[in-house]
Amino acid sequence: MEVTIIGTGYVGLTTGVCLADSGHNVICIDVNENIVLNINNGKPHIYEPNLEEILNRVLNKKSFKASTNLDEALNKAEIVLIAVGTPSMGGEIDLKYIKQVAENIGKWIKNTGKRIPLVIKSTVVPTTTDTFFKDILENSSDYKHPHFGLGMNPEFLREGSAVSDFNYPDRLVFGSEDDMTLDALKRLYKYFDCHKILVNTRTAEFIKYVNNSLLAMQISFSNEMANLANNIKNIDYQDVLEGVLSDHRWNTPKLKNSSSPEIAKYLVPGCGFGGSCLPKDVEAIVNIGNKKGLKMEILKSVLEINREQPKRIIRLLNDEIRNLENRFSILVLGLSFKPNTNDIRYSPAKVIIESLIEKNIRIYAHDPIASSDFQNQYFPNEKNIKFLKEWKDKIDQVDVIIIVTTWSEYKDLNYLANNNHIIVDPRRMLDKDNLNCKSYRSIGYSFD
Ligand code: NAD
C-alpha cells in the first residue's frame, strides 16, 4: 500500500519504518527540514533500539523516504496516518498541529477532489476525530464526510522499545466512521497477527486514555504506598509487592507460578512517571471530565502524587543528612524520563536537579544519550551543574549518587560504590545486600 504519515517523531518515524519494512511504500512528512534531511541520510533524530538499522534497510530498498512536500505525498497515498504532537497547554490538550494538518489536507482535497482515508494516530481526546477534525476538513475542502474517510488508530508503543512494540502489538484498535477507512486499516495491518478491535473513533480515542490513566494510577498508587512504607520504617516494599503479586488474580495464565507479571513494572515505586504521554494524557482527560461536570478526583490525585514524587527523592536525602547545603557534591545518573530513550519531556530528573540547585549543591549529571538535549533545554546557563561524558571517573569525588533513570550501565555501581557514598536508588536497581556504601536509600525501603 502507498502510505503517507504526517508527523515524523517517535510515533510517526517508528510507524513509518516498520510499515515500510513490512512491505508498504511509506512517505513520512515533517515540517522540520533538518529532521527530514537527517532521516533521509539514515540518521534518525530520535534514539530507539534497532530504529537506525531498519531505517537504513528501508531507505536502501527505496520503500521509505522522508519529505516536507505534503501535496506530493498525498497525491500518491492510499491511506494517511497523522502522528503530530498533541501537547498539553495549561492542562488542556493542544490540537494546533492537528488543526494545521486538517487545514492542509482539506485544501488539497478541495484542489484534487480525491477520496482518501484519513486516520489519526496521535493521542486525541474523545470526539476530536468525528467533530473537531471532521469540521475543519469539511470547511476547508468544501466536501462532506464520507467523501474523505475518518479513522482513529491509537498507538500503544513505549519509548525505549518502540520498534518491537510496534511490530508485535498486543492489540490493534481500528476506530472508523466509514467502510473506506476500515477497509484501508485492515489492508494496512493485514500482516499483524493480533487481536483487532473494531470500534467507532470516539471509543478508539477513549481506549487510549483509559489505558494510560490506568497505568498512571498504578504508578501513583504504588508510590503512595511505598512513601508510607518509608515513613513507617523497617518495611521493604519489594517484599510487600511480592506478597501482593503472588495472588493468582494478578498473574496472567501465561505467567502462572510467576510472581512478576508484566504489569508489576508499573507497581515498582520510583521518581514518578514522566515522558511525553502519561502526564499530559492524564491532564487532558481530567480537563475533559471537568468540562463534562465530573470532578475526576482519582486522576487529580494521581497527578498530585506524581508532581510530589521527585521531591521525595530529596526528602530521602534530607532524612540522611541534616544540612545538605554547601557540603556535598551529588552525582545524578540518568536524565531521560526512562532508560533506552533520549526523550527528556517531563523527566523527573529536571525537578530533582532544580531542588538541588535551590540548595546550592554542586551537581554532576550524566546520561548515556540525553545529556546535551537536557542541558540545552532545561539548564543552559546553570553554573552549579557539570554534565559528564563519563561518570565513572567522577565517583570518587562525590558524596551522594542518585540513580534517577535505570540505564543498565549504572548497575556497575554494584562494584564501583565505596564506603564514602550515600546511594539513592529509588527503583532498586542495585544489589543493596552486597553494596559497599555509607548508606543506601530507596523509595519503599527505609531501615535504621
Ligand atoms: P513528536 O513530538 O516526537 O513528533 C511530532 C512531529 O510532528 C514533530 O517532528 C513535528 O515537527 C511534526 N509536526 C508538527 N506539525 C506538523 C505538521 N503540520 N506537518 C507535519 N509534521 C508536523 O511526537 P510523538 O512523541 O511522536 O507523539 C505523537 C503523538 O503520538 C502524540 O499525540 C502522542 O501523545 C502520541 N503517542 C506518543 C507515544 C510516545 O511514546 N512518544 C506513544 C503513543 C502515542
- Cβ distance 94 to 102 under 8 Å? no
> What's the rounded Cα separation, in Å, for the pair 140 and 423?
58
> Residue 62's pLDDT is what?
98
Among the listed ranges 92-106, 108-122, 259-273, 274-288, which one has the minimum average pLDDT value? 259-273
> Which pLDDT tens digit goes with each residue over 172-215?
999 999 999 999 999 999 999 999 999 999 999 999 999 999 99
With the most atoms of ligand 1 within 8 angstroms of its CB, the residue from 84, 101, 128 to mutate is 84
H-helix segments, 233-277: 237-245
The Cα angle at residue 264 between residues 403 and 309, in degrees rounded to 5: 45
Helices 51-61 & 10-21 angle (0-180, nearest 10): 50
- Cβ distance 80 to 114 under 8 Å? no
Ligand 1 atom with least separation from CA of 280: 34
Is the CB of 84 within 6 Å of ligand 1?
yes
- Report how far ligand 1's centroid is from the alpha carbon of 369 (Å): 20
Helices 237-245 & 201-232 angle (0-180, nearest 10): 130
* E strands, 30-148, in order: 64-67, 79-82, 88-89, 92-93, 117-120
- Cβ distance 272 to 348 under 8 Å? yes
For the chain, the maximum distance between any two Cα atoms, rounded to a whole number of angstroms, is: 73
> What's the rounded Cα separation, in Å, for the pair 269 and 223?
5
> Residue 326's pLDDT is what?
63
Q: Could you give phi then psi for residue 351, rounded to 5 degrees?
A: -65, -40
Is the CB of 157 within 6 Å of ligand 1?
yes
> Residue 317's pLDDT is what?
84
- Report how far ligand 1's centroid is from the alpha carbon of 93 (Å): 13
Is the CB of 35 within 6 Å of ligand 1?
yes
Q: Are strands 2-6 and 171-176 parallel, antiparallel or unpaired?
A: unpaired
**37 membership: H or E segment, kind and range:** helix 33-40
State the cell numbers at 56.
Answer: 537504513
State the cell numbers at 182.
Answer: 476500515
> What's the rounded Cα separation, in Å, for the pair 197 and 207?
10
> Which pLDDT tens digit goes with each residue over 378-395?
999 999 999 999 999 999
- Report how far ligand 1's centroid is from the alpha carbon of 83 (Å): 5
What's the count of helices (H) and strands (E) in the chain, helices before strands? 15, 16
Band (pLDDT 50/70/90 cuts) for residue 259 is low
Is the CB of 351 within 6 Å of ligand 1?
no
> Residue 316's pLDDT is what?
86
Which residue minimizes the CA distance to atom 14 of ligand 1?
Answer: 84
Is 28 in the active site?
no
> What's the rounded Cα separation, in Å, for the pair 87 and 100?
14
CA nearest 44: which of 10, 82, 86, 6? 10
At 200, which amino acid appears?
N
Band (pLDDT 50/70/90 cuts) for residue 31 is very high
> Residue 361's pLDDT is what?
86
Is the CB of 209 within 6 Å of ligand 1?
no
CA nearest 176: which of 117, 220, 224? 117
Band (pLDDT 50/70/90 cuts) for residue 433 is very high
* DSSP character at residue 344: -
Is the CB of 173 within 6 Å of ligand 1?
no
> Residue 251's pLDDT is what?
73
> Which pLDDT tens digit goes with each residue over 32-49?
999 999 999 999 999 999
Query: Model pTM?
Result: 0.94
